[in-house]
A and B are shown apart, each in its own frame.
Chain A
Amino acid sequence: MLKVEGLSVHYGGIHALQGIGLEVPDGSIVSLIGANGAGKSTTLRSVVGLVKPTAGTVSWNGETLTGLPTREIVKRGVCLVPEGRRVFPNLTVDENLTLGAYSRSDKAGIAADRKKVFGFFPRLEERAKQKAGTLSGGEQQMLAVGRALMTRPKILMMDEPSLGLAPLVVKMIFGIVRAINQEGVTVLLIEQNAKAALEIADHGYVLETGRIILQGPGKELLADDRVRSAYLGEAAAATAARAT
C-alpha cells in the first residue's frame, strides 16, 4: 500500500501542496482529479522523489520512501509515467523500452514484456527503429506508457496518460489500465478526463489548490454534485448543447 501523509511542497514562494494525505491500497485503482495547477503532478513527483517535499512522508508497504533517491524508489516497483512525453528523443523506440527495464536482469521476462507492450501498441512495433523524437505526440505517449510497463511496476502512477490522445487511443489506454490492474498492478491515475477516470477507479480524490477537498469511492464521486458541476461539466454541457 502506498500511503502519503501530510505532504507539503514549495516551489520557491509557491506553496503547491499544503498537507496532502492519501492511500492507495494494493491492487486498487485510485484516481486523482482536480483543476489545472491543483498540484496533482506535484504529488506524484514527490512520491518518486523528483521533488523534495518540505514536510510529510510517503511510504510504500510500510517502508518510508521520502528521502530515497528516485532510482531506489523505482526499483521498489513504484513507477511514474510523467506528465508530458518524457521519452528519450535521440534513442529509438526499442532503446527507450530497453531502458525501461534498466534495473532488471531477467532477459526472458524483459522479452516477454516487450511483446506485451507491442501487443498493446502495435504502432510502436511499426516504429521500433525510429528515433522517439520524431514520433507524434500520441505515439510518444504510448511509448512513455510502454516504457513504464517495462519496469514491471508494482504500482504504476500515470500523470494524464490520455493528454493529447485520440479518442480511440484514450479508450485503449483505459483498457490497458484495467488490464494491468487485473494482472495485479496497483494504479494511481491522474486524469483531466474525470469521468473516465472515476469510472474505473475504486477510490477517487479531488484536489484543489494543494488540498484534498473531497474523496470517496469512484462511483460516489461521480454522483457528487460538486464533482459533476466542477469537473464533469454537465451543467455547462447542457447549456452548450442548447446554444448550438
Chain B
Amino acid sequence: KSSKPTTVKIGIFEPMTGANAAGGAMEVEGIKLANQLYPTVKVGDKEYKIELVLADNKSDKVEAANAAQRLVDQDKVNVVLGSWGSSLSMAAGPIVKDKKIPAIAMSATNPLVTKGNDYYFRVCFIDPFQGTVMANYAAKDLKAKKAVIIREVSNDYSVGLAKFFADSFKKLTGDENAILGELNYNTNDQDFTAQLTTLKSMKPDVIFAPGNYTESALIIKQAQELGITAPFLGGDTWEAPEFIDVGKKATEGAVFSTFFATEVPITDTSKTFLDAYRKQYSKEPAAVTALGFDGYLVARAAIEKAGSLEGAKIRDALAGVQAFPGAAGLITFDQNRDATKSAVIKTVKGGKFTYLTTVQP
C-alpha cells in the first residue's frame, strides 16, 4: 500500500490467435484507438495514465482462464475488456467475479455471459433480441412465410440465435410450421452442398444462417452455385471484410443485424470515433471495433465516476451508467448488466456493407 500506483491498468482479454482471431483483432483496434484519444483518467483529483495490458486467450477455454487469471492477478488490472466470443468470456466470468474486478464484454451476445455474474457487463445487445429483430425483418419487411434455418451446431452463439429467431418467427407468422427445417453444420466445415441441396428442395422464402462469417460466406457461395435464390439472413458475426472477400458476388443481398453503422452516426462520440478511425486506417470500421471503442470509454468513465481504483466501486459505478454516449449508441445497463441498445440492419450491396434500417429495442 506504500507506493501508490501511477497508472490504471485495463486488461484486454481477447483472442489474438486461433479461430476467433479476426474478431479479437477488430475489437482491439477499437480499444487502442480509444486509448490513443483518451490516454488518461482522473481518479479523485489525480490524473492517471491508462495502460493497456493485452492477454491472448487463444480462442481456447483453458488458455482463456489462465489469461484472465493472469490479468487480474499478476498484472493487477482494474478492469477487463473482452472477449470476442461468448464462451471465452464465460471462462473469465468466475475469475473476475472472485477477484471483484469488473469486466466488460464488447460483442459477446450470449445471455449466459452476464447472467448471475455481478461483475460482467456488456455494451451490446443479446441474442434473444437479435433473433427477434431478424425474425421481424423476415416476416415484416420480406413478408416471408416459411423459413429454413441452417446453424453451426457446435457454436453456442449460432444455436442460441437460431432458437430465438425460430421462436419469434413462428409467433410473428402465427404458423407453428413456419420453420421448414433446421439443418446443422460444424465449425470448420467447408462443404455444405448436402445441406443446401436438401434446403433447396424445401423451397423456403428466407434462410436464416447465423454463424461465423467464415463458414457463412461459403454457405452463401455454395447456395448460389446450387441455384438457391431465397435471401440469406444472419447475425452480427457476418460483419467482417472477409465475409465479402470470400463469398464475393454471392453475398450480394445478404442481410444481417449488427451493432452500428458508419452511415448513421448516432452520437457525437460516433463522429469522433469515425474520424479518428478513418484517419488512422483509411478504411471503414467494423461494428465491433466501435464496440471496442465504447468498452474502453465506459470503463474509463466508470473509473472516473467511482473515484477509486477499487473493483467493487468501479462495478457499482458501471451498474449506474445511464445513457452513456458511446460510438455505437447510448449505453444503459439493465439489471442483467446488458446494454439495451438498438440494432442496425445491414446488407451487402456493391461489395460493401450498407445500412438498411435501425430497429429499436
Direct contact of A and B (CB under 8 A): no
Instruction: Write the residues of chain B forming the contact surface with A, with a CB cutoff of 8 angstroms.
Output: none
Instruction: Write the residues of chain A forming the contact surface with B, with a CB cutoff of 8 angstroms.
Output: none
